[in-house]
Amino acid sequence: MRRVFLLARRLAPTILFFEDLDLNGANRHGDGSRQILGELLTCLDGIESPDGVVVVATTNDLSAIEPALKGRPSRFASFMLVLACWYNSGAGAGY
């Protein structure tokens, strides 16, 4: 993970996208991997100047995310709730 963040800084402007953060950024008291969480926290704190590197993550369960990831502006400072609604017209839509 450290190499990914170093590469992102070198190739800036860059967007780092973490899908399903609840799997790797789970609460320390939950089932998540502490080693991956620790590495992620270290890497997020290690972005001295975030100019040019944007970190975006998705989750299906915000309550499962470690509070340390949500509590500092240098980590994930903003949250957005996106609700999706799929409509199947019955006309062969594949959803």
Residue 50 has pLDDT above 90, yes or no: no
Whether 65 maps to a domain, the answer reads yes
Whether 37 maps to a domain, the answer reads yes
Whether 43 maps to a domain, the answer reads yes
Whether 56 maps to a domain, the answer reads yes
Whether 7 maps to a domain, the answer reads yes
Range of the domain at 6: 2-70
User: pLDDT class for 17, splitting at 50, 70, 90?
Assistant: very high
pLDDT at 14: 93
pLDDT at 93: 54
Six-digit token string for 11: 């190739």
What does the alpha-carbon distance between residue 65 and residue 22 come to, in Å, rounded to a whole number? Answer: 5
Whether 19 maps to a domain, the answer reads yes
What does the alpha-carbon distance between residue 46 and residue 49 come to, in Å, rounded to a whole number? Answer: 9
Q: State residue 75 phi and psi, 5-degree precision.
A: -105, -115
Tell me the CATH number at 44: 3.40.50.300
Q: Count the alpha carbons within 13 Å of 52 in the hemisphere toward its beta carbon.
A: 12
Domain total of the chain: 1
pLDDT at 7: 92
pLDDT tens profile 73-83: 778 878 888 87
Is the pTM for the entire model greater than 0.75?
no
Whether 36 maps to a domain, the answer reads yes
Give the other-Cβ count within 10 Å of 77's Cβ: 10
